[in-house]
Amino acid sequence: MSALDEGHFNAELENGVKLNRLDLGIQDQPETVAIEDAVKVLLQGLGEDINREGLKKTPLRVAKALREGSKGYKQRVKEIVQGALFPEVGLDDAVGQAGGAGGLVIVRDLDLFSYCESCLLPFQVKCQIGYVPSGQRVVGLSKLSRVADVFAKRLQDPQRLADEICSALHHGVMPAGVAVVLQCLHIQFPNIESLFLDSNHQGWVKAVVHSGSGVFENELADVWGDFLSLLKFRGIKLDRTQMKDSVQQCWCPSRYSSSAKVIGPPNRGMVTAVTSILSSLGEDPLRKELVGTPSRFVKWLMNFQSPNLEMKLNGVACGRMDPLKQNGEEQIHTELCLSFWSQCEHHLLPFYGVVHIGYYCAEETTPLSKSLLQSIVHFYGFKLQVQERLTRQIAETVSSLLGGDVMVVVEANHTCMISRGIEKFGSSTATIAVLGRFSTDPAARAMFLKNIPNPASGGS
């Protein structure tokens, strides 16, 4: 992590409650050290060697990311908004409403991320904010984004996040009303037991929530209609007549997952470690929404203890096929868009996407079945991983079944690219491994690569 991140953090301290620690870098602060110790317990619980190269700095990385992701606890909305309220003359009330005096102001498509209070995984948020100014003053547009971020950078639930943003803006800006609509996306890993059965697994849980104050308090108010009209192309399905009745049960997939059977009850030491992380972030682990969070997180994390899955794969990956002859009769077979789910070993955060596999295979030979290839992908995915290694391991395994010429492309989205300081929403990664003739024949590579479909037309 760069020098910048530390400073970013010091900033909050400077303006927050812990002035006496200004002289300590983030990595020397007791909260950071406590989280690091807890992460070491988790890694050991996974059966990992905490001294292997890729993991050595993982506890510190995780601690910094979690503290960065929960910095909203220390931020004050008043400080953000004050100094950004500008007088704007409006219109006579009898005449109409316009900028500064009643005309609706909207900021659309703010990308945020937050941490799910139920399972500690980050979730993505598209945030839409509207407000109707009053008192002949408007707030600087960027402050709407900053205030939303204060509440996103906490452990959250979508509805509470919307309510808190709405309420804070209402009290900070004192307008005629505030409306907030959030579209939230929570990653949903497949159950490890049903991994090879459920090929239509939906990778995401979606939630659309809203909150309104003042003139937006009544969901049937016409001003909601104006607001939603200007969001209409954002894929937001909010029927105003139903808005009031929407029942919110907890959206987090960890709440209704039934994957605990095989893995058994969570390791108590790991649960205690996660509980201590919650305290270090400034949360109360006894808050009712957080009571089950440590065991849910541990249960989820244990999916990446590799021995669990290794046994499964042994049952699936049947016999080794005969090596194919290297002659003119061979042709390139492809299996595109096999989904994978994995866990970045540098940040203990999910990365996920698709794997494309190409290989040469003689015409008379039966190609490898899709389910076998999918098994190989899952086998190497459900571990603490890095994308480069995942790509190589899949290529080597497929090659060991075929004896030769294999090309693998992995396209992925990394949660760690959005949920830490760099916040590069929309970025993606691709890695390539080439074995045998694919490494020497650019035409073969090009033929395979041109079959890879547009990622924008599929996936999330």
Angle between helix 268-280 and 30-45 (nearest 10): 160
The answer to whether 346 is a known catalytic residue is: yes
Considering only residues 338 to 357 of the shown chain, the ones binding a second copy according to CB under 8 A are: 346
Q: E strands within 163-300?
A: 177-187, 204-214
Rounded (5°) CA angle 209-116-112:
65
| 36 binds a second copy, rule: CB under 8 A | no
Report the C-alpha gap between 384 and 42 in whole angstroms.
Answer: 12
User: If binding is defined by CB under 8 A, does position 24 make contact with a second copy?
Assistant: no
Q: How far is the CB of 233 from a second copy (least distance, A)?
A: 4
DSSP conformation class of 101: B
The CB-side HSE value for 160 (13 A sphere, CA atoms) comes to: 17
Contact mark string toward a second copy, 420..449, x via CB under 8 A: x-xxxxxxxxxxxxxxx-xx--x--xx--x
Shortest distance (Å) from residue 266 CB to a second copy:
29
Nearer to a second copy, 371 or 451 (CB): 451
Which one of 27, 44, 145, 167 is in contact with a second copy (CB under 8 A)?
145
Residue 387 bears catalytic tag: yes
Q: Is 19 one of the binding residues for a second copy (CB under 8 A)?
A: no
Least gap, CB of 123 to a second copy (angstroms)? 18
Residue 336 and residue 333: Cα distance in Å, rounded?
A: 10
The C-alpha angle with vertex 354 and arms to 390 and 416, in degrees rounded to 5, equals 65
In degrees and rounded to multiples of 5, residue 210 shows phi and psi of: -145, 160
Residue 38 backbone zone (phi > 0: left; psi -120 to 50: alpha; other: beta): alpha
Residue 79 as a binder of a second copy (CB under 8 A): the answer is: yes
In the complex, least distance from residue 107 CB atom to a second copy, rounded to whole angstroms = 5
With respect to a second copy, which residue has the nearer C-beta, 193 or 423? 423
Assess whether 344 carries a catalytic annotation.
yes
> Is 225 a binder of a second copy (CB under 8 A)?
yes
Q: Is 414 in the site for a second copy (CB under 8 A)?
A: yes
Residue 21: CB atoms within 10 Å = 17
HEC profile of 221-256: CHHHHHHHHCCHHHCCCCCHHHHCCCCCCCCCHHHH
User: Rounded to the nearest whole angstrom, what is the least distance from the CB of residue 121 to a second copy in the complex?
Assistant: 18
Given the residues 124, 128, 374, 387, select the one marked as catalytic: 387
Strands 204-214 and 137-139: unpaired
- What minimum distance in Å lies between the beta carbon of 250 and a second copy? 29
Is residue 414 part of the annotated active site? The answer reads yes
Give the Å distances, CA to CA, from 153 to 71, 82, 113, 148, 208: 6, 20, 7, 9, 19
Residue 197 lies near a second copy (rule: CB under 8 A): no
Kindly determine how many residues on this chain lie close enough to bind a second copy according to the rule CB under 8 A.
102
Encoded one letter per residue, x for contact with a second copy by CB under 8 A and - for no contact, window 285-324 reads ----------------------------------------
Q: Which one, 278 or 434, has the nearer CB to a second copy?
A: 434
Residue list 370-389, contact with a second copy (CB under 8 A): 386-389
Catalytic position from the list 347, 361, 374, 385: 347
Residue type, 78: K
Residue 380 CB burial class (10 angstroms; 0-12, 13-18, ≥19): buried
Is 210 known to be catalytic? no
Cβ 14 to a second copy, closest distance in Å? 5
From residue 162, give the alpha-carbon distance in Å to each of 152, 154, 172: 9, 13, 15
226-265: contacts with a second copy (CB under 8 A): 226, 229-230, 233
Q: Per-residue x/- marks for a second copy, 123-142, CB under 8 A?
A: ----------x----x-xxx
Catalytic residue among 124, 344, 361, 374: 344
Nearer to a second copy, 33 or 221 (CB): 221
Residue 342 CB, shortest distance to a second copy, in Å, is 13
As annotated, the active-site residues are 344-347, 387, 414, 416
